[in-house]
Structure 1
Amino acid sequence: MNRYRILGRIGDGAYGSVVLAIKLDSGEKVAIKKMKRKCHSWEEAMNLREVKSLKKLSHQNVVKLKEVIRENETLFFVFEHMKENLYQLVKERYERGEKSLPEPALKEIVIQILQGLAYMHKHGFFHRDLKPENVLCNGTEMVKLGDFGLAREIRSRPPFTDYVSTRWYRAPEVLLHSTNYNSAIDMWAVGCMIPELYTFRPLFPGSSEIDQLFKVCALLGTPTESQWPDGYQLASKMHFKFPQFNNSSLNQLLIQASPEAVKLVNLLLQWNPARRPSAQQALK
């Protein structure tokens, strides 16, 4: 760590704190994540989920892990520094009195998120914790996926932990405690984030898992059993009954969005994960 000078604190995550630092020999700014859990060996460090995923991924829309430092059993991850996250970018605009992101800038952001996801999914990973706070940006023209504490290799076997991703962006199959979900959960999260970029409000701000499902039903309408048989099976295991709602149109919510954008959001927010487009398909 003596090759870096700490400039200040950026934030705290569930797994550790992040500081802004400067590399002394090059003057380059970096973000250094200090992990909370102690790490007793290099082997243990190299097996951490975040290290494994980021060491394998190299793409212009995925944040770069520059190095891993282990000092006195504490692990530090050195990342390229990005100015802010998508949540902060939206919040700044909102506080300036803007009502929405202009569609060209919004499209640029979404394309870059999808490119990062298409690359990750192709290489056998899904993110599992996609939300505006984990999309890092330097303005709208440079966007990268970050914070891979929860990233998981698609090849690793279910059952997966059922507690992932901030509730508001969580796919219905995860809310219903499915343990064999796949990369379609990332696509649902994108479907939740796009409307937020238009309205500056979260689409489904549920206060609990049940409230979350309730809010999704209220907007998308209740799924039928033929639409999503697996969902009904999961729900009955949990003794959950889908509340009855008709579909209320996304068009009314996304008045300022182009028909193509509304169509994409409708496709991404399919109850049945098998019906959601892949990141590659969504880019088309």
Structure 2
Amino acid sequence: MEEDNPEFIGEYHLDELITSSENIYSDCEVYKATKRNTHEKVILKLSRYSDRGNTELEILNAIRHEFIVNLLDSFKTKFLRNVMIFEKYPRDLQELYTEESLESNRIQKFMNQLMTGIQYIHDKNIIHRDIKPENLMITETDSLKIGDFGISRYTNPTASMTPESVSLWYRPIEILLSCKNHTTAVDIWSAGCVMAELYRRCPLFKGEGQINMINKIINVLGKPTLEEWPTMNELPAMSMIELSGPDSKNFENAIPNASKKSLDLIQNMIMFDPARRFSASQVLQHAYFKTEDISEQNNYEPSFP
């Protein structure tokens, strides 16, 4: 191993640093790299040898699916840092929709692939906890793969998890209100935000900080009621935050390019009450996926109340 040579980690040459983070939620470096003997282009992730790094590697070794990034290799350096080698993909979903205008049927395809991948990890009792366009890779054959399991966790009803886990714009309302018992519904909210973003070509809730994010959500979904969300007053932050905003929903105006079927599905994915949000399997059974999506479907009757 040539770890003393800063240009190499094992048999991989470090071509370019993509990102680096060092905080309580993430401590890693991600590089474009080249395997020395085969000249294969890969992505190399270098993280500290910690419980967090071990959980990511454990999860990646436990899952194999066509809509999840491929872990090609893993090893530890002599300084006990985890190294994970991934297949390199041309771009991520955020780069794709920024560069191209996506037709409705292509959005439908990507959402089907995303939700199929999410259903698979949820069936394995895994919560991704950071679903966002930058973590969704697009292959050369135009398929989607879920990436970055750095803060993923196994489901545990008694475990307390960090409220800041999910990236802010995709963070569900219950986590913004300091819920520490995360369920698979976290990923459904984030995926619903991704779906809305693909139609809007910009994030649905682009807030700055906890309070501003909550206000952005209420401006679209309306102010929650106890009928909609019976347990909301049990959340830690509810005693410190006064929810204010419109009583009615402003949903169609927020996503003007979406069909009625797609709007209905998104609303069922970003419901206030996580217990009422669709599961991944319910999402995949929705009428949105039954026929090719088109922008106007005036005869569709939504199931959302």
TM-score, L = length of structure 2: 0.83
The answer to whether 1:84 aligns with 2:91 is yes
1:4-83 alignment, distance < 5 Å: 4-13=12-21, 14-35=26-47, 37=48, 39=49, 48-73=54-79, 74-83=81-90
Q: CA deviation at 1:76?
A: 1.3
Q: 1:121 to 1:7 in 2, by over 3 A?
A: same
Q: CA deviation at 1:72?
A: 2.2
Q: Provide the C-alpha distance between the structure 2 equivalents of 1:232 and 1:81, rounded to a whole number of angstroms.
A: 45
Q: Provide the C-alpha distance between the structure 2 equivalents of 1:216 and 1:45, rounded to a whole number of angstroms.
A: 33
Q: Secondary structure in 2 aligned to 1:275?
A: coil
The alignment's C-alpha RMSD in Å is 2.0
Q: CA deviation at 1:148?
A: 0.7
Q: 1:86 to 1:15 in 2, by over 3 A?
A: farther
Q: CA deviation at 1:46?
A: 9.9
| Structure 1 letter corresponding to 2:174 | E
| Structure 2 letter corresponding to 1:88 | E
Q: 1:254 to 1:177 in 2, by over 3 A?
A: same
Q: Do the aligned partners of 1:128 and 1:165 also contact (CA within 8 Å) in 2?
A: yes
Q: 1:240 to 1:224 in 2, by over 3 A?
A: same
TM-score, L = length of structure 1: 0.89
Q: 1:127 to 1:106 in 2, by over 3 A?
A: same
Q: 1:268 to 1:46 in 2, by over 3 A?
A: closer
Q: CA deviation at 1:237?
A: 4.8
The answer for unaligned runs of 5 or more in structure 2 is 1-8, 286-305
1:110-259 alignment, distance < 5 Å: 110-138=111-139, 141-155=142-156, 157-234=158-235, 237-259=238-260
Q: Do the aligned partners of 2:138 and 2:145 also contact (CA within 8 Å) in 1?
A: yes
| Structure 2 letter corresponding to 1:68 | S
Q: CA deviation at 1:139?
A: 5.5
Q: 1:157 to 1:235 in 2, by over 3 A?
A: closer
Q: Provide the C-alpha distance between the structure 1 equivalents of 2:119 and 2:58, rounded to a whole number of angstroms.
A: 18
Q: Provide the C-alpha distance between the structure 2 equivalents of 1:249 and 1:226, rounded to a whole number of angstroms.
A: 19
Q: Which whole-Å deviations, capped at 9, do the CAs of 1:6-53 have from their partners, x for residues lacking one?
A: 333333344322112233444432110112x3x3xxxx6897111111
Q: Provide the C-alpha distance between the structure 1 equivalents of 2:236 and 2:180, rounded to a whole number of angstroms.
A: 13
Q: 1:32 to 1:282 in 2, by over 3 A?
A: same
| Structure 2 letter corresponding to 1:5 | H
| Structure 1 letter corresponding to 2:179 | S
Q: 1:47 to 1:86 in 2, by over 3 A?
A: closer
Q: Do the aligned partners of 1:176 and 1:238 also contact (CA within 8 Å) in 2?
A: no
Q: 1:50 to 1:156 in 2, by over 3 A?
A: farther
